[in-house]
Structure 1
Amino acid sequence: MKKYTTNYINTLIEIAEDCPVSQSQIPPEKKEKTLANLQYEKLAKNPYQYTSDDIIFDCYAIKHDISENEKQQERENFFSKGQPCLRCSPLAKKYGFGIHHNSEEKVALIPVESKEYQSLLNDVSTAKTKAMRSKRK
């Protein structure tokens, strides 16, 4: 079975061209947690502890109520086909967070207004890719 991945190495996912904010914002709480809330909670509290695959699958598992016993098998099934990566994350599209993947494929949120975001943009050893646009041109 082929295994797909959403992980990058030494890459900054820049905020989307049509991101509506110029400063990062915490996604607003709703009755039921949104994907943005789930991703934000995991990443804000645990910089560089998880890979993109971990974040994407964990949020999927929460949304689909997958039990601990089923997780390993479900994760294999989940990544047996391609999955949208964090370029599709509402955090980068809508809430003004860059997402940095380090040399070990671990990710952290980088607020667009931060010095760290600017230094990653200027770092020639860091690859850059833009988050997906919310609207078509």
Structure 2
Amino acid sequence: MDFHFHMLDVGRADSIIVEVFDSKNDTVIFIDAGFENDYETINQYFKNEIVPRLTEDFQIILVITHPHNDHIGGIKSILNDYGNRVKECFFNDLTKYLNQDEINQIQSYNTNESIGQNKIHKLRECIENSTILTETLSNYSI
């Protein structure tokens, strides 16, 4: 099994792509995805430099270190463009910082099991409402 790490230059934001080559099924791990307006840079690099080396049925794993806009802005676009390939998503347990309604919502997609389209939709909703999380969690990350 081989790994390639790509630290993308997206200005004042963070985005790392890890390629995991496996004889059966390649995997791409996106660790954060920069600001929303960084997505085009990330996606062009991904399509031009990474996708050509991957097996046809590659899968994607998302890792969100914390809910700041410079880390999660491009995640929604990744889900829009490649959601059918997203197999897992990992992010901080945010529940201890939220009210009960928010806890119930977050718990439904704080999982390391494979996620389907329903959970991807819920993850999109969470990211769209990330302003509240950003304000509450500005000093917490993994």
TM-score relative to the length of structure 2? 0.25
In terms of fraction of residues, the more helix-rich structure is 2
In terms of fraction of residues, the more strand-rich structure is 2
Higher relative contact order, chain-length normalized (CA < 8 Å, sep 6+): 1
TM-score relative to the length of structure 1? 0.26
